Amino acid sequence: MKDIITASRMKELDAAAIKEMGMPSLVLMERAALKTSEEIINGFPLNKEKEHVLVVCGRGNNGGDGIAIARLLHLQGIRTDCYLAMGAEAMTKETRQQYETAVNYQVPMVHNPEWDEYTTIVDAIFGVGLSRTVEGRCGEIIRCMNQADAWKVAVDIPSGVDSDTGRELGIAFRADLTVTFAYRKQGLCFYPGRMFAGRVVIGDIGIYGAEQADDRTCYLEWGDLRLLPERVPFGNKGTFGKVLVVAGTEGMCGAAFFSAAAALACGAGMVKIQTVEENRIPLLTLLPETMVTCEFTEESNRKCLDWCDVLIIGPGLGLSGKSRARAEWFLHNAAKTQKPVILDADGLNLLAMYPEWKSYLSERVTITPHLGEMGRLLREDISRIQPRMIEKSREFARETDAVCVLKDACTVIADKNGRTYLNLTGNPGMATAGSGDVLCGVLAAIHCMYLKEEKPDYGLRAALGVYLHGKSGDLAAKEIGQRGMTARDIIRMMPGMLQRIEK
């Protein structure tokens, strides 16, 4: 599990390393340059002897990193030129020192680069502090860099990318590789910044402390899936959890199927679907491993609730009066019995229609809205939510105590304590009908794995489920490609993903 930080937090950590820990700024700059130059040399698409590198530098400390990179590459015998995009005036103190050192080591300085001469272009114009729109001379330079037929490397963050939101500030450098320092920046997680960054490498340069923040933002890695409990060798189907799926209306059995099938594929012991009579035969035909009930009476509902360990409420449920009654009964009574709930799709649309239902929410409820559903819940336009996904997710989680899984290309998971996870798995092939229903089943199955946990961490459970869902989608994309991928393909990959964890 690794931390993700904002530009302001990075500045605080940088200042603390210098002032409190006594790490000289120039030493940090040298370490950043050394890490970047190593990654450049190791990643050269051509032979070292054939390379011609151009490092384009600004006048801030990011430019100082770039000048130091040019010096290190030059001293390695690699043909390297340095281009000061803003001239040699008004440099920071550290950047001025790096410039003078580079001149002493006879690093070639160019003033009017012929962009097509270079096999590698390194961007060190702007660092993480950029907040204004890039235009004028710098905008034109970045445009020329992007058009050049060269391998492209960004220092810390591609110039023109907002470090916190990933937005393009006028024009942004398109990198094949970004070497960022100390911690991954938020703007390297959200699109389009994540796309502009290419492959991201995090360089340890001696700055620490992000993990001490109360409102940490993290992302999971493959090894974190080992946090999932092992399957008990002496268990039975009841041991591994029972999931009740309250889903489906007339002509809408697919969502119930995907949720139920995913829960089983992810290890849930038993699944029962509460749906309408019209869906009974299709669901039993599609998924005979499940049980199906179509009764909706106080007695039958109570039996279903007593039977299950986890509930999924909402996929394909519809918005009719009958659908409303089904959703409210199970949401209300699950709150009374303190059973975990995954609330999705029409369950969220009904919540938006009847905001008084928020009284049923707690830390045991995980909501899984996409941006449109979140807009309805908050009564805000999507354009206001998308740039503030972390902020909006945290606000909803704090207001209701629920875990908020705000789905997008970079899904945000927030809990009531301010802990936030950004998911970096998944791919565009997962933007397909039923993928969200599969996620519901995965999240329910993850809850089933933790039935014996004394101090539940519902936010972490959700983050693990979203990560696993995305990794299964990535495996499906690798096997069959992103075009034409379906929700069934994600489910099909799930058991193999879990098997890999056990090895």
Check if the beta carbon of residue 438 is closer than 8 Å to that of residue 447. no
- What CATH number has the domain spanning 2-212? 3.40.50.10260
pTM: 0.95
Q: What is residue 503's predicted lDDT score, i.e. its pLDDT?
A: 63
- Under 8 Å CB-to-CB from 140, ≥6 apart: which residues? none
Q: What is residue 323's predicted lDDT score, i.e. its pLDDT?
A: 97
Instruction: Determine the Cα angle at 480 with ends 369 and 444, to 5°.
Output: 35
- DSSP states of 51-88 as a string? -EEEEEE-SSHHHHHHHHHHHHHHHTT-EEEEEETT-S
3-state class (DSSP) for residue 268: coil
- DSSP states of 369-432 as a string? -BHHHHHHHHT--HHHHGGGHHHHHHHHHHHH--EEEEBSSS-EEE-TTS-EEE-----GGG-S
Per-residue pLDDT of the chain (503 residues; tens, 9 = 90+): 999 999 999 999 999 999 999 999 999 999 999 999 999 999 998 778 889 999 999 999 999 999 999 999 999 999 999 999 998 888 999 999 999 999 999 999 999 999 999 999 999 999 999 999 999 999 999 999 999 999 999 999 999 999 999 999 999 999 999 999 999 999 999 999 999 999 999 999 999 987 776 689 999 999 999 999 988 888 898 899 999 999 999 989 999 999 999 999 999 999 999 999 999 999 999 999 999 999 999 999 999 999 999 999 999 999 999 999 999 999 999 999 999 999 999 999 999 999 999 999 999 999 999 999 999 999 999 999 999 999 999 999 999 999 999 999 999 999 999 999 999 999 999 999 999 999 999 999 999 999 988 899 999 999 999 999 999 999 999 999 999 999 999 999 999 999 988 76
Check if the beta carbon of residue 17 is closer than 8 Å to that of residue 217. no
Architecture of domain 240-502: 3-Layer(aba) Sandwich (3.40)
Encoded tokens for 455: 């101090």
Q: How far apart (Å, rounded) are the C-alpha atoms in residues 342 and 359? A: 16
For the chain, domain boundaries: 2-212, 240-502
Q: How far apart (Å, rounded) are the C-alpha atoms in residues 214 and 350? A: 33
Q: What is residue 93's predicted lDDT score, i.e. its pLDDT?
A: 95
